[in-house]
């Protein structure tokens, strides 16, 4: 039974079976409800803005991989999902992000090495084609919006670099030429970024080295400066590192990072300067690929791609330790997690 302060919906696209898993945690009675919804193709990452969900999906069965974005309406009072639109896209997207103004959807294509920007209409529907695309260094893995949405920071795994794009105030256009951005050590494979909720500090996870890099951030220039580098790897890892997701707790006190080769979840308490302190680490089900944290900061939901399950962890408020509360079997290869709060009406007693 969960003791939390919100009703949350965890969206979990699965890479096999063309399925979107939806887990509703009811904070009024501690209940857990699983729902499944069909996707046009195998599920990849999703992004949410307002009452609209955007899910990247791909069908690799044909001569040429067919990729789409499914647009889905979300009822925040019930958690119900309803398909609205399917849009063909020029390439498979490894990550999606929506501008806070709701004006554009950005996608990072790992195989095609590009960023694509799709206009969003007032009803949440996407344009049939991107307004613009930008070639990137090899294998971009994230379209990382800065906290003020003035920049896109794009970790490029195959080029060991975090590229930077400047955006117009409404996000619809580029505001200058692309920048080479932040270089990383050769072979480290930068993958994902996370941000401290209050301080000008970012955190970069490198997939191929298992490094977690704390970065001072200049919001005016959009530039990073490395402050410290720590490791997310367990002591008994067998084989090359395979780091995946990185997140910061909503209160800015704890940094979490998943690593698939050793199937571990590491976490660090963060100092007043936002830098990671002593590390803790624990085993989780096989190949943890994506996870997210509820806005109240008390529940972490993790997709274990290798064991076809989603795990829910209650977070200890004092230590940040995630304690396993439930394991939910699901469709094959759950890989990504996005959590949104719901606005369910309170139940009357009796």
The string over 231-242, giving b where at least 16 C-beta atoms fall within 10 Å of a residue's C-beta and e elsewhere, is bbbbeebeeebb
What whole-number distance in Å separates Cα of residue 154 and Cα of residue 111?
A: 14
Residues contacting residue 306 through CB under 8 Å, at least 6 positions apart: 260, 263, 285, 286, 287
77 assigned to some structural domain: yes
Q: 68: domain range?
A: 8-341
280 assigned to some structural domain: yes
Q: Tokens 């001072």 correspond to what residue?
A: 216
Whether residue 155 contacts residue 190, with contact meaning beta carbons closer than 8 Å, is answered with: yes
Q: Which residue from 300, 291, 297 is spatially nearest to 338, judged by alpha carbons? A: 291
Q: Which residue from 256, 246, 210 is spatially nearest to 229, judged by alpha carbons? A: 210
106 assigned to some structural domain: yes
350 assigned to some structural domain: no
The H or E element containing residue 269 is: strand 264-270
How many Cβ atoms sit within 10 Å of the Cβ of residue 294? 26
Q: What is the pLDDT of residue 132?
A: 97
What whole-number distance in Å separates Cα of residue 350 and Cα of residue 103?
A: 45
The count of C-alpha atoms lying within 13 angstroms of the C-alpha of 103, restricted to the half-sphere facing its C-beta, is 12
Question: Helices then strands (H, E): number in the chain?
Answer: 0, 28
320 assigned to some structural domain: yes
Q: What is the pLDDT along the chain (350 residues), one digit of tens a residue?
A: 444 447 899 999 999 989 999 999 875 566 899 999 999 999 999 999 999 999 999 987 765 678 999 999 999 999 999 999 999 999 999 999 999 999 999 999 999 999 999 999 999 999 999 999 999 999 999 999 999 999 999 999 999 999 999 999 999 999 999 999 999 999 999 999 999 999 999 999 999 999 999 999 999 999 999 999 999 999 989 999 999 999 999 999 999 999 999 999 999 999 999 999 999 999 999 999 999 999 999 999 999 999 999 999 999 999 999 999 999 999 999 999 999 999 866 544 44
What whole-number distance in Å separates Cα of residue 209 and Cα of residue 206?
A: 6
Beta bridge mates, 218:
223
The count of C-alpha atoms lying within 13 angstroms of the C-alpha of 189, restricted to the half-sphere facing its C-beta, is 11
348 assigned to some structural domain: no
What whole-number distance in Å separates Cα of residue 163 and Cα of residue 24?
A: 36
How is residue 196 written in tokens? 């401290």
Cα three-residue angle 236-238-243, rounded to 5 degrees:
90
User: How large a percentage of the chain has pLDDT more than 70?
Assistant: 95
Whether residue 212 contacts residue 255, with contact meaning beta carbons closer than 8 Å, is answered with: yes
Backbone angles phi, psi at 242, to 5 degrees: -150, 60
Whether residue 155 contacts residue 143, with contact meaning beta carbons closer than 8 Å, is answered with: no
CATH of the domain at 184: 2.130.10.10
The H or E element containing residue 259 is: strand 254-259
Count of domains for the chain: 1
163 assigned to some structural domain: yes
What whole-number distance in Å separates Cα of residue 310 and Cα of residue 225?
A: 35
Alpha-carbon torsion (224, 138, 19, 54), positive or negative: positive
Inter-CA distances, 242 with 29, 230, 265, 279, 322, Å = 38, 15, 12, 18, 21
Whether residue 284 contacts residue 291, with contact meaning beta carbons closer than 8 Å, is answered with: no
Q: What is the pLDDT of residue 345?
A: 63
Radius of gyration over every alpha carbon of the chain, rounded to an integer in angstroms: 19
The pTM is what?
0.95
How many Cβ atoms sit within 10 Å of the Cβ of residue 150? 18
What whole-number distance in Å separates Cα of residue 242 and Cα of residue 232?
A: 10
1 assigned to some structural domain: no
């Amino acid at each position: 039974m969960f003791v939390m302060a919100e009703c949350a919906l965890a969206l979990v696209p699965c890479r096999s079976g063309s399925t979107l898993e939806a887990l509703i945690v009811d904070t009024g009675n501690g209940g857990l409800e699983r729902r499944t919804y069909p996707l046009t193709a195998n599920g990849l990452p999703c992004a949410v803005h307002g009452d609209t969900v955007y899910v990247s999906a791909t069908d690799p069965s044909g001569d040429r991989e067919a990729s789409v974005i499914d647009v889905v309406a979300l009822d925040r009072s019930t958690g119900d999902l309803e398909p609205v639109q399917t849009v063909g896209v020029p390439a498979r997207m490894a990550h999606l992000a929506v501008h806070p103004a709701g004006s554009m959807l950005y996608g990072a294509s790992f195989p095609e090495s590009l960023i694509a920007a799709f206009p969003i209409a007032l009803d949440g529907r996407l344009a049939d084609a991107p307004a613009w695309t930008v070639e990137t260094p090899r294998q971009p893995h994230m379209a990382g919006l800065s906290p003020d949405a003035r920049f896109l920071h794009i970790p490029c795994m195959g080029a060991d670099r975090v590229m930077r794009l400047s955006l117009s105030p409404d996000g619809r256009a580029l505001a200058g030429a692309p920048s080479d951005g932040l270089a990383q050590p050769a072979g480290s494979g930068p993958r994902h970024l996370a941000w401290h909720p209050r301080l000008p500090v970012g955190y970069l996870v490198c997939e191929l080295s298992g490094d977690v890099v704390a970065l001072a951030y200049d919001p005016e220039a959009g530039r990073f400066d490395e402050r410290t580098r720590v490791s997310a790897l367990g002591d008994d890892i067998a084989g090359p590192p395979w780091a995946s997701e990185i997140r910061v707790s909503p209160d800015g006190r704890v940094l979490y990072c998943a690593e698939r080769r050793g199937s571990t979840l590491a976490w660090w308490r963060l100092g007043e300067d936002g830098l990671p302190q002593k590390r803790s680490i624990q085993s989780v089900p096989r190949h943890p690929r994506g996870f997210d944290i509820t806005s109240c900061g008390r529940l972490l939901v993790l997709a274990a791609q290798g064991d076809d399950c989603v795990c829910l962890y209650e977070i200890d408020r004092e230590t940040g330790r995630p304690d396993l509360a439930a394991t939910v079997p699901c469709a094959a290869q759950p890989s990504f997690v996005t959590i949104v709060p719901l606005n369910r009406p309170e139940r009357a007693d009796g």
